Structure 1
Amino acid sequence: MPPFSHLMSDYKDNDLPPLLKFLGLNYAEILDHFPEGVFLINTRWQIGYFNQMAAQITGYSREEVLGKFCWDIFQADLCHKNCPMRISMSTGEVLLDREVEITTKAGHKKLVLINTAQIIKGRYKVLGGVETFHELVCPEVETGKLEQHVVADIVGVSPRMQQILRSLPIIAASESNVLIQGESGTGKELVAKAIHQLSPRERGPFIAVNCSAIPETLLESELFGYERGAFTGAVSSKPGRFELAKGGTLFLDEIGDLKPELQVKLLRVLEERAFMRVGGTRKIPLEARIVAATNVDLKEAVRRGKFRDDLYYRLFTVPILLPPLREKREDIPILVKYFLEKLNRKFNKKIKGVDPKVMKVLCRHPWPGNVRELQHVLEYCFVFAKGPLITQRHLPRLESAWLGRELELPLSTDWPNPAESMAPLQALEKKTILTALEIAGGKKQEAARLLKISRSKLWRKMRIYQITDFEKERES
């Protein structure tokens, strides 16, 4: 009698549910139709059952493995050290999603994801163990194909991204103003840098200015520079960003947040192609190309009187609209491939790819943070991945849009419900900021890093939501 036949014989035909009797199936036949490999062992570690998928993955037939020790068949890297099946057999613990490298009959190495459990009869009688496993296969993106769809660190195979990539060299060759529009995280600064690198100005400086990160009182002097004595503390002259960008490109990010009085001055600079330092009298020629970007709907801002229409049309000479990641999901596999190559170099690892189940999760997620969020999620996975593939257990536990799991950050249940006094999205944003501050122990710089925003933007958001003293806010 095979070493495990007594266990299978414990299940008599009379024990079968009515549907299985009707279909003429027994438990062994059901396991043979299971889409994962399944094998059973007795307490002497001998294989007593081996389903069809197990035979397909390993290359061994059922007849070849019955009665053999499991370690002789699988020759896994964990067989004699930290064996998941051994842990389950000795402790009764169910182990899920463990990566194991096995050797097939043909001598090939395969990475599989296994689950193990103890088989027990009644309350105390241990009969053996069961293991299910499936092969981890990474969806491949040809390297040559990847190279064809990368332009200056911008990756895309979707029709909309291909159209943008084809237009970049043409746009870069001109001197016209460019307005890049898109949600946060879509890669607006990358596109601006690509235009600079592909242009005749590539040898000149690329100067980036975040219009919302610099305090309103300092923005004018930062942009145009100032002369000595222009204001209290101006002990010497200083060139502004317009001047520093001479011969290169000036990138004005978050242009939609520019105050009306500065909009007027910027319009005058663009029209006259010259500017003056604060406190100065001499006009300095503008010798930089202007590339602006915003995540604000400027057309709507113009309609509401928040943004000057003449400045809008002056900037709108060459518009580029970057689609959000959720509208170009076909780019996700190639973006994953691209980021994995970059992260392998950064962390000195050799991760080959992601499990197909992970790829399904990535392709299903709405990505409110767009490509930047995808990059940070993959970097998170790299920190915890030890094997050659990223699996589901390496993913961060984020909002329920991911895997049906709730946010598992250490939130205090004593905090007041901000939804009582503000809109749901604002309430969520405030709660997220408080969560980041809690994790960072009140350190603003660390909280800003966790939120993937600048420290000045965090300060601004804290003022908006009146988070003036984090410790008091947390205790209230």
Structure 2
Amino acid sequence: MSVLITLADVEPAVRLNALLEADDVKTWLVSPLDDLPSEVRKARPEVIVFTGSLLDPQTLAIAREQMWGGAAVLGLADIGDPQLDQKLKTVGFADVLTKPVTPEALRQSVEELLERARITRETGLWGESDAVRQVLEAIRQMAPVSSTVLIEGESGTGKELVARAIHKMSPRRSKPFIAVNVGALPETLLESELFGHEKGSFTGAAERRIGRFELADGGTLFLDEIGEVPQSVQVKLLRVLEEREVTRVGGTQVIPVDVRVVAATNRPLRESVAMGGFRSDLFYRLNVLRIYLPPLRERREDIPLLVRRFVQEFAQQHGREFHGISAEAMRALANYAWPGNVRELRNLIESMVVLATGREIGIADIPAAIREGGAERLLPVPVGAILREESRAEGRELEFIVRSLVEVKLQLEELRRRVDEVRAERDAWAAQAGAGGAVAGPPTAVGALGAGIEPPGAMPTATVTITPGMTMAEIEKAAILAALRETKGNRRKAAEILEIGERTLYRKLKEYQVPEQFGE
């Protein structure tokens, strides 16, 4: 593992280099006069530390390039600015520290990135979300011990990857890793598959069979879909876990086994225990250490990283050259709920890499069911900023809010215009009445919106009184009621006055709980 350090700020660069060399970490120091992109290609580092010039176009270009399967990028900023930190992270920085930072703290940050890179390579679990970081940290802590581990998560989230990583990072790494999907085996064969059987122990047992526990001796046994194990086998499985010994079906010999069991389930075992489908004592025996793998929809910020990784992987595998994926296409992928989780995303990317006609995956290359989102549509995630440095936005939610504000503004302007017209007509009518002229009655606008001045003996007309603090809904309801009073309950004419459709008016009446016979 190696670390490339730029000499934009010499003092922290030299101090960090000395500490890392003392820890036997290979380092590359690159001065501002060197060809930085060339040095990165030669060094192929796991971590790049930019000690300054974070907003330099070349720095940003290299950070963005590392998002496609490259190094983790750490930056040292001259001043603390949360907005700048967020912008840098969206273009590829794994972390940003504010100067001054002690050499020891800087070394710790670099070593954490190196360790995360190592675990990521072991697991194949890519992501920068807090959820993924917690999983990687749990793997690092659990791998050295021999306690039983229970992994919970939906199908396609990578439970077997975690199990294999725990084995690879454990002292048992040189011993077998045996995986068995217990949910796919019928009850009649499951006991024999796990514990083995002797020749002639049942019909069809033509020879002795070594069970999975014996095959995994000294190593790790991964039991996938543990929640599907029948009750009859659960009792025997519990005994094996407690006694650390097995007896083959039809046999009498007790065989000691040294096996670490990692179990996985796609539904919470605690619920199965509560419903009586799973033994509580076996659950507690399995649930010594627990890892929860969140579904992809709960860590959607990782989708762009996964997409880039898969595009790179399958482009190399199938001999296709891609310049990347468009921001629009990436946004569509990030907006989808992915019920099949990472497995579904991976399979889709492979098909698009194979079938895409251009050198960049575009929105047209994405299947319509995923592009349109269907019933699984979620609120958009701001992935455009990751690709094109677009500003952070909440997609359709923001669009809806902006559109609503514009509509409210237009309604207020129209209402203000009509109020001004009413006031002008009212003043003209009042002046004419005060001068003793012949008047037929208040003008139409005054009658419709409420002039507040009525000729002696006249019937009161519909009025709308607007006071400070009224909500738009209250104003809208008042206008509808005034229109209904003006038309004596004729909804068609009221809709015409309000310049809305009759269906809209009916919906509004229902929404505001206006009696059906109002105004008649």
Q: TM-score range by the shorter chain?
A: 0.5 to 0.7
Sort the Cα spacing of 1:188 and 1:405 in 2 relative to 1 into closer, same or farther, 3 A.
Answer: closer
Task: Provide the C-alpha distance between the structure 2 equivalents of 1:356 and 1:210, rounded to a whole number of angstroms.
Answer: 39
- 1:156 is aligned to 2:83: no
Distance across 1 between alignment mates of 2:135 and 2:375: 35
Number of the residue aligned with 2:348: 377
3-state SS of paired residue (1:164): helix
In the alignment, is residue 353 of structure 1 matched against residue 362 of structure 2?
no
User: Aligned partners of 1:329, 1:139: CA distance in 2, in Å?
Assistant: 21
SS in 1 for 2:343: helix
Shift, 1:350, TM fit? 2.1
* Structure 2 residue 263 is the aligned partner of structure 1 residue 292: yes
Helix, strand or coil at the partner of 1:154: coil
Shift of 1:401: 5.1
Q: Residues of 1 paired with 2:358 and 2:350: CA distance?
A: 15
Give structure 1 regions of 4+ aligned residues with deviation exceeding 3 angstroms: 146-149, 403-406
Shift in Å at residue 205 of structure 1? 1.3
Q: 2:301 aligns with which of 299, 324, 330?
A: 330
Distance 1:297 1:405, change over 3 A: closer
1:390: how far off? 0.7
Question: Which residue among 386, 396, 409 is the counterpart of 2:367?
Answer: 396
Which deviations, in whole Å up to 9, do the C-alpha atoms of 1:174-224 show, x marking residues without a partner?
000000000111100000011111111111111111011112211110111
Shift of 1:341: 2.1
Q: Quick check: 2:338–2:345 contact (8 Å CA) kept in 1? A: yes
Normalised to the residue count of structure 1, the TM-score between the two structures is 0.54
More helix by share: 2
Q: In the alignment, what sits opposite 1:200?
A: 171
TM-score (norm 2): 0.50
Amino acid in the other structure paired with 1:357:
E
Amino acid at match of 2:343: R
Q: Distance in 2 between matches of 1:358 and 1:310?
A: 49
CA distance in structure 2 between the aligned counterparts of 1:386 and 1:405, rounded to whole angstroms: 28
- The partner residue of 2:198 within 215, 223, 227 is 227
CA 1:267–1:401 in 2, change beyond 3 Å: closer, same or farther? farther
- Aligned counterparts, 1:428-447, within 5 A: none
Contact 2:164 2:177 in 1 (8 A): yes
CA contact (8 A) 2:320 2:354 kept: no
The whole-number CA distance in structure 1 between the counterparts of 2:355 and 2:147 is 46
Q: Which of 114, 119, 141 is residue 67 of structure 2 equivalent to?
A: 141
Q: How far has the Cα of 1:403 moved from its partner?
A: 6.9
1:398·1:405 contact (CA, 8 Å) conserved in 2?
Answer: no
- Separation of aligned partners in 1, 2:180 and 2:331: 37
Distance of 1:355 and 1:403 partners within structure 2: 21
SS in 2 for 1:398: helix
CA-CA distance at 1:168 after TM superposition: 1.2
The equivalent residue for 1:343 is: 314
Matched residues in 1 for 2:205 and 2:297: separation?
48
Kept after mapping to 2: 8 A contact 1:156/1:335 = yes
Q: Deviations over 1:14-57 (max 9, x none)?
A: xxxxxxxxxxxxxxxxxxxxxxxxxxxxxxxxxxxxxxxxxxxx
Percentage of matched positions with identical amino acids: 49
Q: What is aligned with 1:321?
A: 292
Q: Separation in 2 of the partners of 1:213 and 1:232?
A: 21
Q: Which structure has more RCO (C-alpha within 8 Å, separation ≥ 6)?
A: 1
CA displacement at 1:265 relative to structure 2: 0.7
Which runs of 5 or more residues in structure 2 are unaligned? 1-63, 73-93, 95-113, 378-520
- Between the two proteins, the alignment pairs up a number of residues equal to 269
C-alpha spacing 1:355/1:250, structure 2 compared with 1 (3 Å): same
The amino acid of 1:325's aligned partner reads L
- Aligned counterparts, 1:46-445, within 5 A: 141=67, 143-145=70-72, 149=117, 150-152=120-122, 153-398=124-369, 402=373
Separation of aligned partners in 1, 2:356 and 2:276: 50
> Which whole-Å CA distance do the structure 2 matches of 1:333 and 1:195 have between them?
26
> 2:368 & 2:354 partners in 1: Cα distance?
14
Segment of structure 1 superposing worse, 190-199 or 340-349:
340-349
Q: Distance in 2 between matches of 1:236 and 1:385?
A: 52
User: Deviation digits for residues 46-69 of structure 1, max 9, x if unmatched?
Assistant: xxxxxxxxxxxxxxxxxxxxxxxx
The DSSP-based 3-state class of the residue aligned with 2:184 is coil
1:212 is paired with a residue whose SS is helix
Amino acid at match of 1:306: G
> Amino acid of the residue matched to residue 313 of structure 1?
Y
- TM-superposed CA distance for 1:400, in Å, is 7.4
Aligned to 1:179, the other structure's residue is in SS state: strand
Contiguous gaps of at least 5 residues in structure 1: 1-137, 407-476
Shift of 1:151: 3.7
**Conserved 8 A contact 1:139-1:353:** no
Q: Compare the two structures and name the one with the higher strand fraction.
A: 1
Shift of 1:225: 0.6
Deviation at 1:234, TM superposition (A): 1.3
Distance in 2 separating the partners of 1:357 and 1:206: 42
Letter in 2 for 1:185: G
CA contact (8 A) 2:336 2:370 kept: no
Distance 1:188 1:391 in 2: 31
